[in-house]
Amino acid sequence: MTRLTGCESCTDLTCSSTIEVLGSDVSKNVVTAYDRVQSRGMSACLFGSGGTCCRNCNMGPCQIIDGVEEMIGICGATAETVVARNYARTIAAGTAAHADHAREMIFGFIATAKGETPHEIKDEEKLHMLAKVFEIETEGRDKNEIALELGEKALAEFGKQQGTQVMLKRAPKKRQELWKRLGVEPRGIDREVTETMHRTHMGVDQHYENIMLQGARVALADGWAASMLSTDLTDIMFGTPVPIRAMVDLGVLKEDMVNVAVHGHEPLLAESLCMAAQQEDIQALCKKVGAKGVNLVGVCCTGNEILMRRGIPVAGSFIQQEMVLATGAVEAMVVDIQCVMQSVAQVAKNFHTEIITTNYRAKMPDAIHLQFDEVDSLNSAKDILKRAIGNFKKRGACHIPKDTKLDVVVGFSHETINYILGGRFRSSYRPLNDNIINGRIRGVGAIVGCENYKLPDDVHVIVAKELIKNDVLVLATGCAAQALGRAGLLNPEAAAKYAGPGLAEVCETVGMPPVLHMGSCVDNSRILIAATAMVEEGGLGDDISDLPAAGTAPLWMSEKAVSIGEYFATSGVYVVFQNLPVSGSKVMKKYLYEDMEEMYGGMWDTEPDPVKLAHKMIAHIDKKRAALGIDKKRERVLFDMQMRRDLTDGTGLTDVGCHGPA
Ligand code: NFS
Ligand code: SF4
């Protein structure tokens, strides 16, 4: 069987390591998702793809054909009702995933504030900032005392029955008023998920517009509440990311070390493994089996979390999870929740590799389960590592790609962008706004989300290159950011190579890459805060919808990506995916692709071709520039020395990793 359907059209370096591993003798018996895509032999169901299959009750399943009278649901549900219900449920599932992740982080945060875990409250400045948002007294109080009150108040946001989410007030004033007017301000995070499930139950909410208002509300409970709380509390506990150099791709595995891949999402587990790997007893055990130590590598968003905060290398993104194992070089893959394919346990059977599940919510056949204890986390992590070390001697032939350890600069939190662009003494978004106004930077484009075996792998790279070539600064998160890292776009040198003259000039002056890695998928909340900071800095309108900005998750796979897209669109951003499960209803397409712009100033769109997709983003950016009256200013202005000084304050990013946000 020929392999790698997804890679055949890919001309980029992005997946050369994948091709190398799957072409090696070591992996000849491994079956991957690429093989399964190819061997399915049937195309996807049109009703499923179009969102018009309803199985919400036992009179169905009903397959609806838009506009055909006899092809509505047995209960009378029309195409738009069914599509809207399915869509809202997808958003609710995405929100639920982020919310459960956030809840777990807050439990860990509270335990840390009580001194029960080996972790500590690291970022006091951010602690005080968030305490202010929650109106917590900080004067004369110990950091752990403040953190405990913050943790408890954050946790209460989930079960709130009345009132609205506290974090909403971090949005621009005008946006808050708009949400209020539309009645989409989320109340309790859990309440919005529950209510979405109720309203989409058979015979409840049967007006697509009303269903979609709840879709907006549950998505906002994700972006501006659950995800944002998770990002901020994680930063306070483990440190807010600052620029750091690191490596990505399969080549980060090491022949002479115990390779432990940590896969999933919650950084509590990964951080504890990082601490445990450095302990003397663990290192001594490694020596005993003839290994130089534990080589911890990340996969998926857990990978992003420890990459951003610790510079721990990322072995692979979502699409590479099977390839990491197919090298034969991994002693254990430790997983928690989300985006872990059931197939990893089958791939592992070809080797000495153990798959270790660690969260009671997420088990799988043929894996072993070691429940991670977030309080006794160091010992818990050590138990996991001991199993991996015990496997080292059983390792057979392996194949680790040699030349793909690409260098990246990551760690662009909102605070970092504020700092590197504003300079050491006066952190601010002013220079970014000024460069957008004077046209050196045309606008900002977010490339986020997953990868998808059904579609060519290099879409992220094509979109990113097209954007930066046209002077659009790219912000990236999730698996998309990792793909852009593998393609060499996350290092400062990429600016001269790929960016348009204006963007290249700004990047070179500051020493930053043209694509800024902002973290995991919950960290998309950082983009909301960055957008708000740009609005508050002035000169680019008074709401997020005025900004020359657009977002995409072209290769989306997970329901979380739809929730993310929805909270961006309802926050005023133009969001374009390659496809969406709404094509079965004309009314719903009009709602998402047109009506939402009138309501929210942001909207959804779809475009299968990656170059055209990038140009749709650029066209939207230009439309916003024209509305702001800054479209004339895009003639090229060369930097003089004073402008360079103003921009960097003499602190270039060439010394990345040395400074943090002041
Ligand atoms: Ni996001 Fe991250 Fe990756 Fe997609 Fe999955 S790991 S939370 S959902 S696949 S980007
Ligand atoms: Fe069919 Fe209506 Fe039941 Fe859905 S809720 S399965 S459309 S009868």
DSSP conformation letters of 23-67: HSGGGTT---HHHHHHH--SPPPHHHHHT-EE-SSTT--EE--TT
Candidate CATH numbers 3.40.50.2030, 3.40.190.10, 3.40.50.800, 3.30.365.10; the one for domain 411-628 = 3.40.50.2030
Q: Does the pLDDT value for residue 639 go beyond 70?
A: no
Q: Calculate how far, in angstroms, residue 573's C-alpha sits from the geometric centre of ligand 1.
A: 20
Q: What angle do CA 78, 79, 85 make, to 5 degrees?
A: 90
Report the sign of the C-alpha dihedral through residues 407, 409, 659, 296, in that order: negative
Q: Which residue has the tokens 């350890």?
A: 405
Residue 373 CA to ligand 2 centre (angstroms): 43
Residue 358: DSSP 8-state: -
Contact 330, 260 (CB under 8 A): yes
Residue 656 clears pLDDT 50, i.e. is over it: no
Question: Which ligand 2 atom is nearest residue 60's CA?
Answer: 6
Kindly state the average pLDDT of the residues 465-469: 98
- 60 CA → ligand 1 middle, Å: 32
pLDDT over threshold 50, residue 632:
yes
Tokens 């390779």 — which residue? 259
Q: Is the pLDDT of residue 538 over 50?
A: yes
> Which of these ranges, 176-185, 269-278, 528-537, 646-655, has the smallest mean pLDDT?
646-655
Residue among 222, 230, 301, 302 whose CB has most ligand 1 atoms within 8 A, to mutate: 301
Rounded CA gap, 432 and 503, in Å? 11
CA of 449, closest atom in ligand 1: 10
Q: Which two tokens stand for residue 112?
A: 């840390």
Give pLDDT, residue 526.
Answer: 97
Average pLDDT over every residue of 392-406: 89
Q: Are 458 and 12 in contact (CB under 8 A)?
A: yes
Q: Whole-angstrom Cα distance, residue 207 to residue 209?
A: 6
Task: Kindly indicate the confidence band of residue 425, based on its pLDDT and cuts at 50, 70 and 90.
Answer: low
Strand partners, 474: 445, 515
d(CA 137, CA 143): 11
What pLDDT does 653 receive?
Answer: 41
CATH 3.40.50.2030 range(s) for the chain read: 244-394, 411-628
Helix (H, G, I), strand (E, B) or coil at 294: strand
Measured distance CA(438)–CA(636) in Å, rounded: 9
In angstroms, what is the span from residue 352 Cα to ligand 2's centroid?
48
Residues 6+ apart with CB under 8 A from 341: 33, 321, 322
Task: Band the pLDDT of 644: cuts 50, 70, 90.
Answer: low
Q: Return d(Cα 71, Cα 63) in angstroms, integer.
A: 7
Q: What is the pLDDT of residue 577?
A: 98
Peptide bond just before 61 cis, omega within 30 deg: yes
Helices (H), 448-579: 459-469, 478-486, 493-498, 501-510, 524-537, 559-569
Q: Which of 100-109, 256-265, 353-362, 402-411 has the lowest mean pLDDT?
A: 402-411
Average pLDDT over residues 82-108: 98
Instruction: Quote the pLDDT of residue 11.
Output: 44
**C-alpha 227 – ligand 1 centre gap (Å):** 13
In this prediction, residue 316 carries a pLDDT of 94
Protein residue with least CA distance to atom 3, ligand 2: 57
Q: What is the DSSP letter of 312?
A: P
Strands 332-335 and 314-316 turn out to be unpaired
Q: What is the mean pLDDT of the chain?
A: 93
* Average pLDDT of the residues in 448-462: 92
Cis amide leading into 554 (omega within 30): no
* CATH T-level fold of 244-394: Rossmann fold (3.40.50)
Give yes or no for a contact between 152 and 134, defined as CB atoms under 8 angstroms apart.
no
Which amino acid appears at position 500 of this protein? G
Atom 6 of ligand 2: nearest residue by CA position: 60
The confidence score (pLDDT) of residue 607 equals 98
Q: In this structure, are strands 332-335 and 354-357 parallel, antiparallel, or unpaired? A: parallel
The candidate with the shortest Cα–Cα distance to 123, out of 243, 238, 241, 236, is 236
Ligand closest to 520 (CA) is 1
- Predicted confidence band at 63 (pLDDT cuts at 50, 70, 90)? very high
Q: Which residues line ligand 2 (CB under 6 A)?
A: 54-57, 59-62, 73-75, 77, 82, 202
Tell me the two tokens of residue 416: 């970092």
The proportion of the chain whose per-residue pLDDT surpasses 90, expressed as a percent, equals: 88
Phi-psi region of 201 (alpha: psi -120 to 50; beta: other; left: phi over 0): beta
CA–centroid distance, 280 to ligand 1, in Å, is 34
Q: What percent of the chain has pLDDT over 70?
A: 92
Average pLDDT over residues 227-231: 98
562 Cα: distance to centroid of ligand 1 (angstroms): 11
Residue-level pLDDT at 645: 61
- Is the distance from CB of 615 to CB of 540 less than 8 angstroms? no
In whole angstroms, how far apart are CA 424 and each of 154, 403, 484, 527?
31, 37, 28, 22
Rounded distance between C-alpha atoms, residue 79 and residue 68, angstroms: 10
Query: 204 alpha carbon to ligand 2 midpoint, in Å?
Result: 12
Task: Please list every protein residue whose CB sits less than 6 Å from any atom of ligand 1.
Answer: 265, 300-301, 318, 339, 449-450, 478-479, 520-521, 557-558, 560-561
The residue ranking higher by pLDDT, 426 or 117, is: 117
- What values do phi and psi take at 60, rounded to 5? -95, -155
Residue identified by tokens 């621009």 is 172
Q: What is the CATH number of domain 68-238?
A: 1.20.1270.30
Residues whose CB is less than 8 angstroms from the CB of residue 70 and which lie 6 or more positions away in sequence, other chains included: none
* Pairing, β 368-369 against β 354-357: parallel
Ligand 2 atom, smallest distance to 82 CA: 7
Q: What's the confidence (pLDDT) of residue 5?
A: 40
Strands (E), 19-172: 53-54, 62-63
Question: 605 - beta bridge partners?
Answer: 576
Of 56, 72, 81, 198, the residue with max ligand 2 atoms within 8 A of its CB, to mutate for a pocket test, comes to: 56
Given a cut of 90, whether residue 6 has pLDDT beyond it is no
Confidence tier at 649 by pLDDT (50, 70, 90) = very low
Looking at the CA of 205, which ligand is closest?
2
Please compute the mean of the pLDDT values over residues 293-309 and round it to a whole number: 95
Closest CA to 461 of 310, 319, 593, 275: 319
Q: Rounded mean pLDDT of 101-114?
A: 98
- What is the reported pLDDT for 407? 87
pLDDT band at 42 (very low <50, low <70, confident <90, very high): confident
Tell me the CA–centroid distance for residue 339 and ligand 1, in Å. 6
- In order of 281, 316, 407, 446, 521, the CA distances from 15 in angstroms are 38, 10, 16, 22, 22
* Max Cα distance, the chain (Å): 73
What's the rounded Cα separation, in Å, for the pair 261 and 71?
A: 49
**Crossing angle of helices 559-569/208-221, nearest 10°?**
100
CA 332 from chain centre, in angstroms, equals: 24
439: pLDDT strictly greater than 90: yes
Please state, in angstroms and rounded to a whole number, the distance separating the CA atoms of residues 640 and 96: 51
Beta strands 53-54 and 549-552: pairing type? unpaired
Atom of ligand 1 nearest to the CA of 448: 10
- How much is the average pLDDT of 249-263? 96
Ligand nearest 305 Cα, by number? 1
The structure tokens listed for 641 are 């020395």
Distance 65 CA to ligand 2 centre (A): 13
480-500 pLDDT tens trace:
999 999 999 999 999 999 999
Q: To test ligand 1's pocket by mutation, which of 98, 100, 308, 560 has the most ligand atoms within 8 angstroms of CB? A: 560
Residue 395's SS3 state is coil
Report the nearest atom of ligand 2 relative to the CA of 55.
6
Atom of ligand 2 nearest to the CA of 81: 7
